[in-house]
């Protein structure tokens, strides 16, 4: 007759142990995304995975509990065994992702053995395992970008080469940084790629040792080649989700938006920060949409990523922009239109600090 092996009770013990590891690992990852990253999309996916797997094995719940043998488990932790240390948060995510993936693989393999309590469930475990690989990449990427995104506050200078006129962008950027600028974005609609790459590399070399973020506007290829901290995209540029597939996982993506709806969409599509404008009338752009402080307040209540206000901001109104919820203020003419760039930057930075 057919063999009684594998013994149902032993298989249930194995299933119970792997479900426990799976649930614990998913909970750690869910709490990282929910409480540390405030990432609703990833939290939702992890929660859905946990609930689906629990629901799938719901009918076995009592049997699994009855089969548990903690005391007799030869792999149970002993008093003298040191717990492993995680080097940092990405390492913690990697370790718990591995637990999830390994548990799913064990459950998947035993689902392929006929006559076990798991028979016929291999497909759902395999699907969950591939989902877990993707979630690990997304979470580690978010953590690596989180430190950079946290520095997106204070004064953000858009180094628009039209507004620079004949001045050297590196000299102007250096003066702005001395004044208190925390982020430099290079925006150039005229130069060829060779000249633009050379400029981007010089700015990156200036910013990096000073702890200032360097962001490239529009050009994904230049951002990559220059090793920028981030890429800034407009509404008509490459969608953030597509850029994310190409860029290194530690490179920020910023997105220009003109309403709370656009900002929410940009965040959902993978933007690490959003710029909202124009807050006030501006001379830096011929065509612009005036959104005002009320839209800034509403957007602040709807997005969790850093929010940069832009458009017509100067030393007379920067404080009300910060009071309305902006993490940072992006300026062009308020700094580039001044005779003394360092002094103009310092005046703005000082006003922002007083809030």
**In the prediction, which pLDDT does 65 show?**
77
The candidate with the shortest Cα–Cα distance to 299, out of 273, 272, 264, 327, is 264
- Residue 156 φ then ψ, to 5°: -120, 115
pLDDT of 11 higher than 90: no
pLDDT (tens digit per residue) in 214-273: 999 999 999 999 999 999 999 999 999 999 999 999 999 999 999 999 999 999 898 999
Under the banding of pLDDT at 50, 70 and 90, the label for residue 40 is confident
Sequence-separated (6 or more) residues with CB below 8 Å from residue 325: 296, 297, 299, 300, 301, 307
Question: pTM for the whole thing?
Answer: 0.82
Q: Which of 265, 285, 297, 343 is catalytic?
A: 285
Under the banding of pLDDT at 50, 70 and 90, the label for residue 120 is confident
Euclidean distance between CA atoms 347 and 332, whole angstroms: 14
**In the prediction, which pLDDT does 47 show?**
94
Q: Which of 13, 50, 121, 187 is catalytic?
A: 187
pLDDT of 57 higher than 80: no
pLDDT (tens digit per residue) in 151-176: 999 999 999 999 998 899 999 999 99
Sequence-separated (6 or more) residues with CB below 8 Å from residue 84: 95
Tell me if residue 256 is catalytic: yes
Q: List helix spans (H) across the chain.
A: 8-31, 40-56, 61-67, 89-111, 122-150, 161-164, 169-179, 193-207, 220-226, 240-246, 260-268, 292-302, 318-323, 333-336, 341-353
Tell me if residue 55 is catalytic: no
Please provide the average confidence, as pLDDT, over all residues in the chain: 91
How far from chain centre, in Å, is Cα 222? 21
Q: Which of 33, 43, 111, 256 is catalytic?
A: 256
| Least confidently predicted of 79-83, 91-95, 330-334 | 79-83
What is the mean pLDDT of the segment spanning 48-67?
81
Task: State the virtual CA torsion across 99, 105, 108, 113 in degrees, nearest 10.
Answer: -120
Euclidean distance between CA atoms 27 and 1, whole angstroms: 44
């Amino acid at each position: 007759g057919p063999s009684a092996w594998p013994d149902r009770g032993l298989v249930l013990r194995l299933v119970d142990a792997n479900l426990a590891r799976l649930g614990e690992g998913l909970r750690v990852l869910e709490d990282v995304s929910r409480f540390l990253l405030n990432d609703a999309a990833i939290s939702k996916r992890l929660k859905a995975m946990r609930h689906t797997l629990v629901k799938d094995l719901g009918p076995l719940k009592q049997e699994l509990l009855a089969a548990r043998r903690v005391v007799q488990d030869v792999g149970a932790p002993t008093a003298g065994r040191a717990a492993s240390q995680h080097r940092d948060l990405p390492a913690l995510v990697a370790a718990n992702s591995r637990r999830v993936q390994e548990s799913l693989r064990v459950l998947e393999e035993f689902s392929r053995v006929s006559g076990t309590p798991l028979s016929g469930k291999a497909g759902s475990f395999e699907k969950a395992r591939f989902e877990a690989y993707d979630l690990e990449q997304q979470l580690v990427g978010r953590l690596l970008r989180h430190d950079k995104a946290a520095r997106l506050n204070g004064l953000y200078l858009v180094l628009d080469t039209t507004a620079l006129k004949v001045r050297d962008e590196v000299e102007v950027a250096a003066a702005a940084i001395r004044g208190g600028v925390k982020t430099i974005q290079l925006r150039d609609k005229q130069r060829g790629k060779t000249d633009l790459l050379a400029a981007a590399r010089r700015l990156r070399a200036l910013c990096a040792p000073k702890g200032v973020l360097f962001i490239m506007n529009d050009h994904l290829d230049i951002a990559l080649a220059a090793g920028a901290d981030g890429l800034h995209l407009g509404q008509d540029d490459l969608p953030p989700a597509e850029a994310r597939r190409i860029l290194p996982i530690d490179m920020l993506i910023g997105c220009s938006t003109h309403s709370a709806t656009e900002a929410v969409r940009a965040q959902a599509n993978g933007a690490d920060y959003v710029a909202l404008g124009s807050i006030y009338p501006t001379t830096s752009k011929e065509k612009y949409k005036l959104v005002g402080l009320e839209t800034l307040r509403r957007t602040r209540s709807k997005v969790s990523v850093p929010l940069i206000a832009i458009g017509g901001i100067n030393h007379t109104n920067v404080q009300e922009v910060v009071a309305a919820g902006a993490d940072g203020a992006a300026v062009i003419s308020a700094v580039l239109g001044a005779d003394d760039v360092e002094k103009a930057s310092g005046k703005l930075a000082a006003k922002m600090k007083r809030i």
